[in-house]
Chain A
Amino acid sequence: MLSSKSYRVSFVLIFMAVVLAWLLNVSSGSVSIPFADTIAVLFGGQANVESWQYIIWNYRIPKAFTSVLVGGGLALSGLLMQTLFRNPLAGPFVLGISSGASLGAALLLLGASLFSGLASFSLLGDFSLAIAASIGSFLVLLVVMVVAQRIKDTMALLIIGLMFGSITSALVSVLAYFSSAENLQRFIFWSFGSVGNLSGQQVLLLMGIVLLGFLLSVLSIKSLNAYLLGEHYAQSLGVSLQKSRLMIIVATGLLAGGVTAFAGPIAFVGLAVPHLTRQIFDTMEHRILIPAVFLYGAILMLLCDTLAQLPNSANVLPINAITSIVGAPVVIWLLVQKRKMIF
């Protein structure tokens, strides 16, 4: 596609914004660490208090990287969904991916008491929840993909994704009804979402998954651009509908499924960020949008997490609530401002 403008300056600015948001995120938290000390620690120096060093390296830096991966991954999956379904309101939630993850997590956390004696999940360690959620999201994705092969109409696919979402959330309710208060609490905490508490290994695994999803998105750039004209036009331009659709759905599954598995369901980032990005990068060209949306999502997530940490207080707000409080008004604002949400 022939873009009308060059976005080099915007890219430099947005990249600087990511770095700033990252520094802000690392320097704030429940323990108050002066900004100068944070910078010193980051460049290998010593902080005034020894424990600060430990907090920054072992807790805050992995959390900041997780925020970047979670925000960028969700935002990118939202962009992919919006283009594939040619619907400005599509997001990673519509394909039932996050509800699949919820079902996986619910089966593990709530079902354990229901099918007592099957397995004690605490034995499975840190990864059990992530694995259960991944299996859940990929199972739903698999079903959606099988359906996608048979149905040509993407709008029907969108509705089928929503129906799967309803079914899975109904199953979660049933599980919740029968489970103990303690297990229910664990599940609710998972559903609040969190970018903290990931071990270095887990962050690396998440990075691998997000990177793979990003790579598949980049490989889909040409077909994504063709989809902007509609499926028939894309086909007439030589795009193989089945192959490209499969690739885009797998990329979305990796990005949204992987993120949800590790960080819990996080709302609105996937839906709102592509629209926010187009306020600055006024183009539909995916060569520009893919990196821009990723960076923008990272900024939003870093800021939301900084807010959620409630600087200098020991409380941490649920990140899912923060993204909704920030995201929902943004969507309303975009809709009220005519044409801002045009796809």
Chain B
Amino acid sequence: MPQPKEPILTVKELAIGYRSKVVSKNISFSLEPGVLCGIVGINGIGKSTLLRTLGGFQPKLGGTITLHQKRLESYSQPQLAKELSVVLTEQPASKNLTVQELIALGRQPYTNWLGNLSQRDKDYIQQSLDAFLLNDLRHNKCHELSDGQLQRVLIARAMAQDTPLILLDEPTTHLDLYHKAQILKMLQQLAHQNQKTIVFTSHEIDLSIQLCDKMVILNGGDNPFGEPCELIEQKHFERLFPTEMVQFDAKTGAFKVNK
């Protein structure tokens, strides 16, 4: 067993939502470097709200979020840009950017007031292009890309931002099975090889069980957290959906529709 590492992100008794309306509460988990963590749960349970709260886009309602032993809210915006990067469900506003230009924007927290790129910045951009197999597409405009390619570009941009923590909101929606698996596999590689902590929300419970190191199940109650096999053993997936429609098969780690 390797030495236990310092956690990067620690969440305790977190309550999330909007103003007076609590969407979800009682969320606690802790993630070390090199961990790929999936957040799953039924629609409307607060997966995206949790991710937006972790990313500092909306205030939490209670509990604590600790990033590198410092409270999340004590970071300034430029400091936070070097700690966490995001991939959101919203499309980039301008699709007239080339792949390379879009990825290069990830280096903004490190460039001067004009945004001049140093050799080091260019190296990071090249690494991201390589890691997500985008070298042939580098001069293509974003509106020329398929959904799967665009998602790879957005993740490559987050990688170029070179932050210890990467948050992704539903990175696999609108993709076919092959590309869902490809994206998640690439995220797993990025987490393991570059020692990044990667948190993503997903509806792909089967794929997440296979690829994630840790998972958070938002169920509106105790929100269990742990390794996928532990969660299977504790029968948490069985209770995720109403059982009259779908049932979880613990042997295969997949859901089946009742016939």
Contacts and interface: CB of A to CB of B under 8 A. Distances in A.
Nearest to A240: B77
B105 A228 contact: yes
B143 A222 contact: no
Contacts, number: 100
A233 to B, nearest CB: 7
A233 B85 CA distance: 9
Nearest to B116: A287
Contacts of A219: 113
A4 B104 CA distance: 11
Contacts of B136: none
Contacts of B114: 221-222, 287
Contacts of B90: 230, 232
- Per DSSP, chain A at the interface is loop
B101 A3 contact: yes
Interface in A209-237: 219, 221-222, 225-230, 232-233, 235-237
Interface size class of B (residues with CB under 8 A): 35 or more
B101 A226 contact: no
B101 A232 contact: no
B108 interface: yes
Contacts of A227: 93
Give the one of A2, A226, A239, A240 with max B CB within 10 A: A2
A236 B55 contact: yes
Interface in B129-145: 138-139, 143
- Among B105, B111, B117, B138, chain A packs the most CB atoms within 10 A around the CB of B105
Contacts of A12: none
Interface in B76-117: 77-82, 84-86, 88, 90-98, 100-106, 108-109, 111, 113-115, 117
Contacts of A278: 96
Interface residues of A, number: 30
B92 A233 contact: yes
A238 interface: yes
Contact of A232 (B57, B105, B108, B122): B57
A1 interface: yes
Contacts of A37: none
A42 B254 CA distance: 83
A1 B101 contact: yes
8 contacts: A226-B105, A229-B94, A229-B102, A230-B90, A238-B80, A238-B108, A284-B96, A284-B97
Interface of A: 1-4, 86, 219, 221-222, 225-230, 232-233, 235-240, 278, 283-285, 287, 339, 342-343
Closest 8 CB pairs of A and B: A238-B81, A2-B104, A86-B93, A238-B78, A228-B94, A230-B93, A237-B108, A222-B115
